[in-house]
Amino acid sequence: MILVTGATGNVGRRALELLVEQGHKVRALTRDPQRAQLPEGVDVVAGDLADPATLDAALDGAEAVFLFAVPGSGPGFVAAAEAAGVRRVVLLSSGAVEDADLASGPIAAYHADIEQALRGSSLEWTFLRPDVFAANSLMWAGQTQGGDVVRGAYAGATGAPIHEADIAAVAAAVLTGDGHAQQVYRLTGPESLTHADQARIMGDALGRPISYQELPAEVVREAMSAHVPGPILDGILHAWSSSVDRPAPVTGEVERITGRPARSYRDWVLDHAAAF
């Protein structure tokens, strides 16, 4: 049995679907089973990683776990997993843990805390550290639905955006394959792109001329502060400013682990065209 936590999220749902397609017995942990809408045949169990007392039923009989990172959940999960006899845990961590511009921020901190709890356990762990999610571009949807200009900070900020389907494919391969114990995989898309590059590629994929208009960082900070906590926003803007004119690192881990090249940013846009 493979337990998937974060089963209704972008990565968890895709990983679960892949595992089901491959014929594995899968259980999903969710806080609201009635609304999960998961594939037929999945054993859906109510529970919350933030409350270890709710995990016993989900972990019963599970040999491997895809672990979504919930702040503060590491020690409680580890204790429950060890007690249940779980052997393998694949953590969806974050590239921020090893990024000098983000390592001191709250995102890196809570992922690192969970990593540390797993490192100190008897479990076979693997850490997946994706960098920039291509899905971050969904924050542009409100602008592209009303015009052909995306406005934001640092047009030259770089990243190597990764498709969530590739993260899920790596997760499925690691959960079901051998040779990944006590390994850390930094996951990226296939190329370094600026914000301006992403807007251009989005336009090309959608058949319209989308461009990126740079705004002062403080203007963007004020606009984003309504829905992004201050410390996280500070880290995002700092990382963007630090990456200008500096190509983002690109790894080949997706292809090495799954046997197929990472999907391009254009692929991601086409898969999500309806949003834009």
CA distance 152 to 211: 11
pLDDT of residue 31: 87
Give pLDDT tens digits for 166-222. 999 999 999 999 999 999 999 999 999 999 999 999 999 999 999 999 999 899 898
| Mean pLDDT within 262-274 | 97
* Residues linked to residue 44 through DSSP beta bridges, in sequence order: 28
- For 52, the 3-state DSSP assignment is helix
pLDDT of residue 99: 73
| Mean pLDDT within 97-126 | 86
Give pLDDT tens digits for 36-58. 788 888 999 999 999 998 999 99
- For 272, the 3-state DSSP assignment is coil
Strand extents, DSSP E, the chain = 2-4, 26-30, 43-46, 64-68, 88-92, 124-130, 149-152, 158-159, 183-187, 193-194, 211-214
Of the pLDDT bands very low, low, confident and very high (cuts 50, 70, 90), residue 2 is very high
Give me the DSSP letters along 209-267.
Answer: --EEEE--HHHHHHHHTTTS-HHHHHHHHHHHHHHTTSPPP---HHHHHHSSPPPPHHH
Written out in words, the top-level CATH class of the domain with range 2-131+164-188+249-262 is alpha beta
Q: Check: CB of residue 258 under 8 Å from CB of residue 169.
A: yes
- Smallest Cα–Cα separation from 252: which of 178, 183, 175, 191? 191
Amino acid identity of residue 119, one-letter, is R
| Residue ranges per structural domain of the chain | 2-131+164-188+249-262
**Total Cβ atoms within 10 A of residue 227:** 8
% helix, strand, coil for the chain, step of 5: 45, 15, 35
pTM comes to: 0.94
| Mean confidence (pLDDT) of the chain | 93
Give pLDDT tens digits for 3-22. 999 999 999 999 999 999 99
